[in-house]
Amino acid sequence: MQHLLRKQIITGALLLCISFVSIAQRSEVYQPFHDELPYYLGMSIGVNNSYLNFNRNVEFFNPAIGAVNNINFLNNPALNLGLVGTVRLSTHTLLRLNPTVLITGSKNVYTYKEGSSSDIKTMNASSAILNIPLAFKIESDRYNAFHFTNMMRHYIFIGGKIDYDLLGSNKAVIISNSGSVSNRIPYNNTLKGLDYGYEMGLGVSFYLQYATISPEVKFSYGLRNLNNGDALLSSIKDITGNFVYFTIHIEN
């Protein structure tokens, strides 16, 4: 009887010790001095989706004119890789630079019809965009999460951006599917390679033992007219480019 009782006492003591160790580990604050860093660096990886907005002229609604009178954007998912540099301005306000390369490759940009033709054509162009955003980031205090002390914080940001298509001068291709035959016709790129605009988004930061992981969602809106004045798009007044990003930042 004493032997059984002794086993129960030892087992209970071991479980109590394990519980204390677990509680001690959960009460540990990772990177406690991170908020005192004047700046920190990192990298980012994510995916994005781009699409175009078309502002049409009056001529667009006249099928007798030989210009484009039916046009639709195509979604273009891509991979984005970047570097991150953040400077602390105050306790909750930071300035972040996140130069990023958008790897899109060859993509179908939009479909269209000309005049009274019923043939749907597709504009295809290669693209590799350098995105340079500068944003003000406002973050909350750190708070407890997942039974860990001061593990998380959330943030919002807003700023401006410059996009430069490194392959913007490349020729495009018109894909015409007339009947059962598909033709690829070389053509000039109808979009300008330089854009600027504004961005905003939100995210959360997880403070781990050796790094900070921050998943975020960003909405990017272009302000420049990307229509380069090609005769094909004479019935289109303005073209603007928009992006939606999902990115994970890994910072020290």
Q: Say how many CA atoms lie within 13 Å of 139 toward its Cβ.
A: 26
Are 10 and 51 in the same domain? no
Query: Is the same domain home to 26 and 97?
Result: no
Are residues 48 and 149 both part of a single domain? yes
Same domain, 81 and 170: yes
90 — phi, psi (to 5°)? -155, -170
Q: How many CA atoms lie within 13 A of 49 on its CB side?
A: 6
Q: Please give the DSSP secondary-structure letter assigned to residue 60.
A: G
Is the pLDDT score of 13 beyond 70?
no
Answer whether 222's CB lies under 8 Å from 197's CB. Answer: yes
> What's the rounded Cα separation, in Å, for the pair 226 and 238?
7
List the structure tokens of 249.
């930042």
Residues 14 and 127 in one domain: no
At residue 63 the predicted structure's pLDDT band, cuts being 50, 70 and 90, is low
Same domain, 105 and 214: yes
7 and 126 belong to one structural domain:
no
- Do 3 and 73 lie in a common domain? no
How many independent structural domains does the chain possess?
Answer: 2
Instruction: Report d(CA 149, CA 153) in Å as an integer.
Output: 11
Rg (CA), the chain: 27
Question: Are 149 and 204 part of one and the same domain?
Answer: yes
For residue 145, which of 204, 92, 211 has the smallest C-alpha distance?
A: 204
137 and 80, same domain (yes or no): yes
**pLDDT tens per residue across span 131-141:** 999 999 999 99
Where in the chain does DSSP place strands (E)? 39-56, 68-73, 76-88, 93-97, 100-114, 121-139, 143-145, 148-165, 172-178, 181-187, 194-207, 212-222, 236-251
Q: Which of 234, 229, 237 is nearest to 66 (CA)?
A: 234
Using the 8-state DSSP alphabet, how is residue 13 labeled?
A: H
Considering the domain architecture, whether residues 13 and 118 belong to the same structural domain is answered as no
> What domain range includes position 8?
1-30
Name the burial class of residue 210, with classes exposed (0-12), middle (13-18) and buried (19+) by CB atoms within 10 angstroms of its CB. Answer: exposed
Report, as an integer, the average pLDDT of 175-182: 72
pLDDT of residue 26: 62
Which of 2-6, 165-169, 212-216 shows the lowest per-residue confidence on average (mean pLDDT)? 2-6
Mean pLDDT of 38-61: 92
**Average pLDDT in the chain:** 87
What CATH number corresponds to the domain at position 90? 2.40.160.20
Q: How many CB atoms lie within 10 A of CB 166?
A: 14
Of 49-58, 62-71, 79-88, 127-136, which gets the smallest average pLDDT?
Answer: 62-71
Tokens of 154: 């959330």
Q: Does 1 score more than 50 pLDDT?
A: no
Token readout for 212 is: 């900070």
Overall average pLDDT of the 171-185 stretch: 80
Does residue 17 share a domain with residue 108?
no
